[in-house]
Amino acid sequence: MTKMNKTIQLQDLGTKDYKESWEYQEELFKGVVDLKIQNRREETDWPTPNYLLFVEHPHVYTLGKSGDLENLLLSEKQLEAKGATFYKINRGGDITYHGPGQIVGYPILDLENFFTDIHKYLRFLEESIILTLAEYGLESGRSDGETGVWLDVGTPFARKICAMGVRASRWVTMHGFALNVNVDLGYFDNIIPCGIRGKGVTSLNVELGVEKVDEEEVKAKIIKHLTELFEAEFV
């Protein structure tokens, strides 16, 4: 039986191209999966590593494997004019936007180090954001059937502040969450976010009525809550 490793290696990649970040995630993901396969094959018990990558992407739209391309409302030329790129990727969920002022978190965790339950994993990611927003005086929550974190759920003013989409194989996760902190919300006008019509998108600075929120402070709060929820240690 492999020893459980509850240490998570934190890496802040700064601003990084989406494709480069995706390839780096795939590399780490493959390393964890390969080690698990080796442990089973050779009956060894090398502990598997866990990672959390923080990154900010230049303007990019990504479409999940079950997504509908019609939810992207721009042509290739219009994308170019906006300085944005587009990728179809292997996470769950529909279309979303990443860009400056957004904290993107990619946990690459071997859930066998914590618990083997994808739904619980998603709820914990959501909870870390809900608890973080509460520290800024914002009450947020989940919307039935719609992953992510929302404000004013169940009202005509429901709006999403954090998108989520994950992929898992052999209990190893990748992709993750995107929290709007200081985002230019105009970029969301070019898509039907997550394929959900008639619901808004918001950003923490807009909700607080300030020009800019300290993103490093927000990251520190997210890490604090992830530490408690997963009973993990970040290094």
Strand partners, 178: 104, 163
Catalytic residue, chosen from 194, 204, 218, 226, is 194
- What are the CA-CA distances from residue 157 to residues 78, 118, 175, 197, 218 (Å)? 29, 29, 28, 13, 24
Burial class (CB in 10 A: 0-12, 13-18, 19+), 1: exposed
Which residues have a Cβ under 8 Å from the Cβ of 82 and sit 6 or more positions away?
59, 74, 187, 190
Which residues have a Cβ under 8 Å from the Cβ of 146 and sit 6 or more positions away?
160, 194, 196
DSSP structure class, residue 210: -
On whether the CB atoms of residues 59 and 14 are closer than 8 A, the answer is: no
Strand partners, 63: 88, 95
Pairing of strands 95-98, 60-63: antiparallel
Known active-site residue 194? yes
Active site residues: 194
